[in-house]
Structure 1
Amino acid sequence: MSEIFLDDAGLDRLTGIRRGCTRAGVKQTKHEMQAKFLRDIGIPFIPNARGQPVVLLSALESRRTAEAPKKEWKPAVIGA
């Protein structure tokens, strides 16, 4: 059976965040940091009951095809 959600290892690879951090006495969990990263780059997700971001694989696949680079238009005279 194929998975419909990105697994934990895949989410770690996508975000580049594998653990939380503490700066100036403020603690952030790995999942809080991952959710912020996903929001910043515009990948849709839902938090589960534990606060972990859950990403549908279809959201990533549709994003990949929707943002394919477009070729720059050139007149036929220049390209000949």
Structure 2
Amino acid sequence: MATQEFTVQDLKRILREGAGAAEAVDLDGDILDRDFEELGYESLALLETGGRIEREFGIELDDEIFADHRTPRTLVEAVNAQLKAAV
């Protein structure tokens, strides 16, 4: 059985679908190590993003996922760790 993978492209798509993108932020640029707040995503936008990830990938994220993983890189790594654990 193949393991599903969560990519930065998945994250960008979900961010755009759920909360849009701030005009000053280029999600197609180098965002991997930029803080979500710096990218213009506040708690409500991140809550929506987390819910979309859960539904699409069939996992349950910890309530503190965005507090513990403040950049796209660390969030993608955390989601992939959960996906692997769920197999």
Q: Do both share a fold (TM > 0.5)?
A: no
From the two aligned structures, give the one with the greater helix fraction: 2
> Which of the two has higher C-alpha Rg?
1
From the two aligned structures, give the one with the greater strand fraction: 1
Normalised TM-score (structure 2)? 0.30
Normalised TM-score (structure 1)? 0.32
